[in-house]
Amino acid sequence: MRLITIVLLLSLVPIFGIGQHTISGKIVDELGLPVYLASVQIEETETITYTDFDGSFTLKSDRKFHWKIKINSQGYKPETYFVLSGGRTGDIVIEYDDAMRELLGVN
């Protein structure tokens, strides 16, 4: 009886993964350097994550395709980016805000 219960529970494990779609990419600045701890959020949801040391991020969504993500990080202009089916964004370049440009002496 115990074996049957365990087998039934293990057979349900893949079902929990169905409906989860992955969005992944990398956030870089204008110089091509990774942006650490930028927030990446699927618009109109509470799904949010932060970039790692390499600027990479991964989000899970119930929607199958066409996401709109919001990217925010201190020192950079907020960015909105559309992600089509497949969920891979590649490198997303975000621009410095005015205060950061002044600090760096970039025009």
Per-residue pLDDT tens over the stretch 30-39: 999 999 999 9
Q: Phi-psi category of 36—alpha, beta or left, where left has phi over 0 and alpha has psi -120 to 50?
A: beta
Q: Show the beta-strand stretches assigned E in 1-107.
A: 21-28, 39-42, 48-50, 56-61, 67-72, 79-83, 88-93
- Going from N- to C-terminal start, the domains of the chain cover 19-104
Distance, in Å, from the CA atom of 50 to the CA atom of 56, rounded to the nearest integer, reads 8
pLDDT band per the 50, 70, 90 thresholds, residue 15: very low
CATH no. of 19-104: 2.60.40.1120
pTM of the model: 0.76
Question: How many CA atoms, within 13 angstroms, populate the side-chain half-sphere of residue 96?
Answer: 14
